Amino acid sequence: MTDPYGEIDADVLVVGAGPTGLMLAFELTLAGAKAIVVEKAEHPNPQSRAGSIQPRTAGVLDMRGLLDEISDPSSVVTRYLLRADPPRTTLHT
Ligand SMILES: Cc1cc2nc3c(=O)[nH]c(=O)nc-3n(C[C@H](O)[C@H](O)[C@H](O)COP(=O)(O)OP(=O)(O)OC[C@H]3O[C@@H](n4cnc5c(N)ncnc54)[C@H](O)[C@@H]3O)c2cc1C
C-alpha cells in the first residue's frame, strides 16, 4: 500500500473512524494485523450519538474489558420510554 507521503505499512485499510471502523481496527490489531484507519471528517461530530448503549454492544465491550472504562454506575437507565410514530405505540421497560 502506498500514499503520496511514502510507503504505508499496513495489512488492512479501514475507511471511516466511526464505532464500526474503530472497533474493527481494534479487533484486527488484537488478531495481529496492522490496521490503519482513515477518516474524511476533519473534526469529530459535536452531536451526541452515545446517549445509550445497547445490550449487545455492552456485551462486546465487556468481552474486551472496555465496559468498565465507559460505564458510570450513576448514569445507568433502569426505565425508559420508546415511541413509534406512526402508529402511536408506547413501550415501557
Ligand atoms: C442523533 C443520533 C443519535 C444516536 N444515538 C445513539 C445512541 O444513543 N446509542 C447508539 O447505540 N447509537 C446511537 N446512534 C446510532 C449510532 O451513531 C450509529 O449506529 C453508529 O454511529 C454507526 O457507526 P458506524 O461506524 O457504522 O457509522 P458512522 O458513525 O456513520 O461512521 C462512519 C464514518 O466513516 C466516515 N466516512 C464515510 N465515508 C468515508 C470515506 N469515503 N473516507 C473516509 N471516511 C469516511 C464518516 O465520516 C464517519 O465518521 C445515534 C445516531 C444519531 C444520528
Mean pLDDT of the chain: 83
Q: Is the CB of 59 under 6 A from ligand 1?
A: no
- CA angle 25–29–33, rounded 5-degree value: 105
Percent of the chain residues past pLDDT 70, beyond the cut? 76
Distance 20 CA to ligand 1 centre (A): 8
| For residue 68, pLDDT beyond 80 | yes
User: 47: number of CA atoms within 13 Å, CB side?
Assistant: 1
Residue nearest to atom 53 of ligand 1 (CA): 49
pLDDT value of residue 70 = 80
Confidence tier at 49 by pLDDT (50, 70, 90): confident
Predicted pLDDT of residue 63: 94
For the stretch 34-48, pLDDT in tens is 999 999 999 988 887
Q: Hunting for cell 406512526 — which residue is that?
A: 86
Domain ranges of the chain: 1-44, 51-93
Helix (H, G, I), strand (E, B) or coil at 14: strand
Considering only CA atoms, give the Rg of the chain.
18
